[in-house]
Structure 1
Amino acid sequence: MATERRILLADAALDVLADEGMRGLTHRAVDRAADLPPGTTSAYFRTRRSLLDALVRRLVDVDQAEFRELGATLPVPQDAAELTAALVAFTELRLTGPGRRRTLARYACAVESVRDPALREVLAPRGNAARDAVRDFLANRGVPDPEERTVTLLACVDGLVFDRLVTGGEVPRAHVRGLVEAALRGPDGA
């Protein structure tokens, strides 16, 4: 029961952060979002810091579960068009529905982590099946240093997500296709 309540509160904290930003993340706001009596959140997370830690850990857990699912359901792409389609689908997950809320919360936490090394450590990118599929795709094409190019490609896709989250709209398929082609060519255009 206590674990379930902590998860409920962490999920509510994610929603508060997505809706109100870092300044709006308070114990009272989480109590309201979780539809629980005042004081419940502070009974489980005594400090704002412990609440933020729980929120970030929950965010990472949910993201990793999503990546595992994507990795299990999506085979290694066979060509650039398949990789582009998979990355576009991923951007849509990040920009709509529950994925949008987590993306807003993730970016707020990322900015906060600039001044907080412990938070940054929890948020640090981790290996996952979806990332492995991109790396394997690039490696199978003979791309030099597929790990580094995977990191660069996914960082660029994340940048497109951030831009569209702020400015609105979908990530254009042509933009993603250009990033995939650049990853396949490399920095020297080869």
Structure 2
Amino acid sequence: MSTDRRTLLADVAVTVLAESGIRGLTHRAVDRMANLPPGTTSAYFRTRQALLTALVRHLVALDQAELQEIGERPPVPRNTDELAAGLAAFVERRLTGEGRRRSLARYACAIESVHHPELQEILVPRENAGRQVVHDFLTAHGLTDAEERTITLLTCVDGVVFDRLVNGGSVSVPEIHRLVAAALS
């Protein structure tokens, strides 16, 4: 079986999920959106659970690659303003275009994982260069509990993304600046 075809189907499944919700994620819907003959998706992913698992793995791989790239880009934030600006830009990317599609799919998968614990294991936050930048920033500011505060700060940032997806609106640097300041206090 072609890895490229599996990747294509998983990517199309992300779009179907983002546009139609968890109930709209079917083999047929993926076939239709991918302009493939009926039965193609089920030939690669026999069950709906196999399709959902492939979708989640693909989503996590995309997110990890993005976060790794963000963390490897110079310069490393030197102050609260720079970190807040970087996090605000990240949130804005999660609310538009490709980022919005992936965010909607990610949250749908997170809810679905309550009923499918095998998905929770895949969705667990992972180490990456983006997360490390936040951790290093907090450590450089003398925090002895930087790991715990990193998790709290990034959870709050994730909450902002969720809120804006559900309730609309955009994010502001001052709003994120307040979250960073709270993490430092």
Report the TM-score, using the length of structure 2 for normalisation.
0.98
Residue 140 of structure 2 aligns with which residue? Answer: 140
Separation (CA, whole Å) in 2 of partners of 1:155 and 1:139: 18
Separation (CA, whole Å) in 2 of partners of 1:120 and 1:139: 29
Task: Measure how far apart 1:172 and its partner are.
Answer: 2.2
Task: Measure how far apart 1:35 and its partner are.
Answer: 1.0
Separation (CA, whole Å) in 2 of partners of 1:55 and 1:22: 12
Separation (CA, whole Å) in 1 of partners of 2:106 and 2:114: 13
Identity of aligned residues (%): 64
How big is each residue's C-alpha offset from its partner over 1:143-176, in whole Å with a ceiling of 9 and x where there is no partner?
1210110000000011011111111111122211
- Give the unaligned 5+ runs of structure 1: 186-190
Residue 188 of structure 1 aligns with which residue? Answer: none
Residue 43 of structure 1 aligns with which residue? Answer: 43
Task: Measure how far apart 1:68 and its partner are.
Answer: 1.1
Question: In angstroms, what is the RMSD of aligned CA positions?
Answer: 0.9
Higher relative contact order (CA 8 A, sep 6+): 2
Residue 60 of structure 1 aligns with which residue? Answer: 60
Correspondence 1:7 to 2:7: yes
Task: Measure how far apart 1:179 and its partner are.
Answer: 0.4
Secondary structure in structure 1 of the residue aligned to 2:83: helix
The one-letter code of the counterpart of 1:52 is: L
Separation (CA, whole Å) in 1 of partners of 2:151 and 2:102: 21
Correspondence 1:81 to 2:81: yes
Separation (CA, whole Å) in 2 of partners of 1:36 and 1:144: 54
Correspondence 1:28 to 2:43: no
Secondary structure in structure 2 of the residue aligned to 1:181: helix
The one-letter code of the counterpart of 2:66 is: E
Secondary structure in structure 1 of the residue aligned to 2:77: coil
Correspondence 1:111 to 2:121: no
Correspondence 1:163 to 2:163: yes
How big is each residue's C-alpha offset from its partner over 1:97-122, in whole Å with a ceiling of 9 and x where there is no partner?
10000000000000011122110000
Report the TM-score, using the length of structure 1 for normalisation.
0.95
How big is each residue's C-alpha offset from its partner over 1:51-82, in whole Å with a ceiling of 9 and x where there is no partner?
00000000000001101111111432100000
Separation (CA, whole Å) in 2 of partners of 1:9 and 1:97: 19
The one-letter code of the counterpart of 2:183 is: A
Separation (CA, whole Å) in 1 of partners of 2:120 and 2:33: 26
Residue 177 of structure 2 aligns with which residue? Answer: 177
Separation (CA, whole Å) in 2 of partners of 1:76 and 1:142: 17
